[in-house]
C-alpha cells in the first residue's frame, strides 16, 4: 500500500472498529430488559420478551430504534441514560492495536469519529476508556442528522463541518456499504476494516495497524 499524501482528517467508525460491539448488545438486550423488570416488578424473561417485541415493532429503519432516551422514556425506566450506558461501557472490549494506533494518528492528523450509534454511546465510551482527548469531533448520523445510516448526506455534512474536501479524508469502518462504498462514491479515501477476512474487496484492512502504513505517522 502506498502512503497517502495531503490527508488532513482521519475518520474512524466506532462499534466494530475501535470497540467490539458486544457491549451495545448487552445494553439493549440485557440492561434495558433488566431495568424494565425492576421498575415494573415482573420477571426478567418476561421483561425481555416485552422489550424485544417493542424493538421489533419500531424496526431498524426508524430513528427511534437507535435513541437511548426514547426507550428509557417509553419504558418509564426512571434512570439517567448515561448511568445505564456506563454499565455497558464498563464491559466494552477495545481492540488491542487501538491503544497504539489512535494516539499516534492523533499526533499528525485531525482524528474524528463517524458513527451511527447514539452520541451518548460514543461520548461515554471514549471518555471512560481514556480516548476522548484524541478525537476532535464525534459525528453521529443518528443524533446530529436524525439519519439511521451514514449516507452521502452524512459524509458531505462531516466534510463541510471540518472544512475539508473528501479527498483530504481517510475513513475506516467495518460496514462494506456505509463505511466503504458510500464514502468512496464521494471521493473519500475509505477502507473496510475486515478483521475476520470475510470480504473480498480491494480497499481492505485486517486491523488498524495497517492504517498506519497508509499515513505519515
Same domain, 173 and 153: yes
Residue 217 — pLDDT band, cuts 50, 70, 90? Answer: low
Segment 159-170, tens digit of pLDDT: 999 999 999 999
Q: Assess contact for 184 and 172: CB atoms under 8 A.
A: no
Max Cα separation, the chain?
60
Cell numbers found for residue 212: 498506519
CA distance 81 to 86: 9
Segment 116-147, tens digit of pLDDT: 999 999 999 999 999 999 999 999 999 999 99
Q: Listing from the earlier edge strand, what are the strands of the sheet with 9-12?
A: 137-140, 110-115, 9-12, 169-173, 189-193, 204-205
80 within domain boundaries: yes
Percentage, residues of the chain above pLDDT 70: 98
157 within domain boundaries: yes
Answer with the residue of higher pLDDT: 199 or 80.
80
Q: Is the pLDDT of residue 197 over 90?
A: no
CATH number at residue 137: 3.40.50.1000
> What's the whole-number average pLDDT of the chain?
96
pLDDT for the residue 201? 77
CA dihedral 33, 81, 141, 110 (to 10 degrees): -130
Q: Which residues contact 42 (CB under 8 A, 6 or more apart)?
A: 36
Q: Helices 81-89 & 119-128, crossing angle to 10 degrees? A: 50
pLDDT for the residue 198? 83
Q: Which of 89, 111, 128 is the last residue of a domain?
A: 89
Same domain, 127 and 78: no
pLDDT for the residue 30? 98
Q: Assess contact for 145 and 157: CB atoms under 8 A.
A: yes
Same domain, 121 and 195: yes
Q: Which of 89, 110, 143 is the last residue of a domain?
A: 89
176 within domain boundaries: yes
Range of the domain at 51: 22-89
Same domain, 26 and 16: no
2 within domain boundaries: no
Same domain, 40 and 123: no
4 within domain boundaries: no
pLDDT for the residue 63? 98
Q: Which of 74, 89, 104 is the last residue of a domain?
A: 89
Q: What is the pTM of this model?
A: 0.94
Number of independent structural domains in the chain: 2
Same domain, 159 and 146: yes
Same domain, 75 and 118: no
CA distance 149 to 105: 26
217 within domain boundaries: no
DSSP 196-215: T-----SSEESSTHHHHTTS
Amino acid at each position: 500500500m502506498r502512503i497517502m499524501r495531503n490527508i488532513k482528517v482521519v475518520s474512524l467508525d466506532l462499534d466494530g472498529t475501535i470497540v467490539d460491539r458486544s457491549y451495545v448488545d448487552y445494553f439493549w438486550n440485557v440492561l434495558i430488559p433488566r431495568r424494565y423488570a425492576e421498575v415494573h416488578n415482573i420477571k426478567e424473561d418476561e421483561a425481555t420478551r416485552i422489550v424485544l417485541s417493542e424493538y421489533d415493532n419500531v424496526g431498524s429503519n426508524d430513528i427511534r430504534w437507535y435513541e437511548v432516551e426514547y426507550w428509557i422514556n417509553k419504558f418509564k425506566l426512571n434512570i439517567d441514560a448515561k448511568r445505564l450506558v456506563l454499565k455497558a461501557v464498563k464491559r466494552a472490549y477495545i481492540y488491542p492495536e487501538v491503544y497504539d494506533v489512535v494516539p499516534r494518528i492523533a499526533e499528525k492528523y485531525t482524528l474524528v469519529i463517524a458513527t451511527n450509534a447514539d452520541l451518548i454511546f460514543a461520548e461515554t465510551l471514549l471518555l471512560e476508556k481514556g480516548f476522548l482527548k484524541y478525537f476532535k469531533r464525534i459525528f453521529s448520523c443518528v443524533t446530529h442528522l436524525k439519519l439511521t445510516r451514514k449516507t452521502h448526506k452524512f459524509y458531505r455534512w462531516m466534510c463541510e463541518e471540518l472544512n475539508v474536501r473528501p479527498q483530504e479524508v481517510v475513513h475506516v469502518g467495518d460496514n462494506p456499504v456505509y463505511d466503504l462504498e458510500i464514502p468512496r462514491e464521494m471521493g473519500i479515501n475509505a477502507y473496510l476494516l475486515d478483521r475476520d477476512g470475510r470480504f473480498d474487496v480491494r480497499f481492505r484492512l485486517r486491523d488498524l495497524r495497517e492504517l498506519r502504513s497508509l499515513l505519515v505517522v
